[in-house]
Structure 1
């Protein structure tokens, strides 16, 4: 385990940092309600299934959906994204388990539904990006 993160396989520290950077970039974009930055964390041809079970294909569709959600039903939602596990699926491809903790706008934990998210983050020509993922809402009593 590295810094509380279970690392499975041989993932170099620089790769771990890059993967965490993608997750933290997504967290920042979510909390700042910035759909452009949010979409930028995904690969051009990514596939994403949100907590409502809707599959979105491609960076543009993810951006468009995020733009609507961040301005409407997620406008008052904030979260902390904690990487809990990394698994090297193949060279340059890391599966990442993330726990999403609801927080207030100041970053303090609050009651609410948590997220259990799996991201597949891969090295692309323009850097590390999410290529696939799924978010699942979790009742905090079951976590």
Structure 2
């Protein structure tokens, strides 16, 4: 995951690992359909806008929305989250671009909706968390021969 990431600004190896860890933990929570683990990746006062344009403010609202969504219309949706860029805003605030590739439950790529996500991940007293973000559905990348 780290070999093809574009790093802009000074980002320590420890920060790179922490930020990537937040994204991978979010991916795991999504794929395991665990709204509590998913919510724990967000700061208490986070602002999140999902792919349908619904803004959710605060960890509680994110969990309350995610619980029925993960068990309902997202129950058969799985994805791989790949960090493609990190931009240092300050040493403890990193903007992160992520590509979401649809997969089956075993992690193999499949047809389905792709996503492009921007997370703002910040170090807080209790660790690194998503403080703001937006997800959008995108067309799959075109393959070149």
TM-score (norm: length of structure 1): 0.97
Who is 1:54 aligned against? Answer: 54
CA deviation string 1:57-101 (max 9, x = no partner): 000000111101101000000000000000001120000000000
Specify the alignment match of 1:34 in structure 2: 34
What residue is the counterpart of 2:45 in the other structure? Answer: 45
Within-5 A mapping of 1:94-133 = 94-133=94-133
Partner Cα separation in structure 2 for residue 142 and residue 35 of structure 1: 32
Deviations along 1:3-36, one digit per CA (max 9) or x if unpaired, are: 1100000100000000000000000000000000
Secondary structure, counterpart of 1:52 in structure 2 = coil
Q: How far is 1:141 from its partner?
A: 5.2
Q: Distance in 2 between matches of 1:82 and 1:10?
A: 20
Q: Deviations over 1:82-130 (max 9, x none)?
A: 0000000112000000000000001000011100000000000000000
Q: Are the counterparts in 1 of residues 10 and 91 from structure 2 also a CA contact under 8 Å?
A: no
Please provide the CA RMSD for this pair: 1.2
Number of residue-to-residue matches in the alignment: 142
Q: Deviations over 1:39-73 (max 9, x none)?
A: 00000000000000000000000011110110100
Unpaired runs of at least 5, structure 1: none
- Gap runs ≥5 in structure 2: none
> Is 1:134 aligned with 2:104?
no
SS in structure 2 opposite 1:109? coil
Structure 2 distance, partners of 1:119, 1:46, is: 10
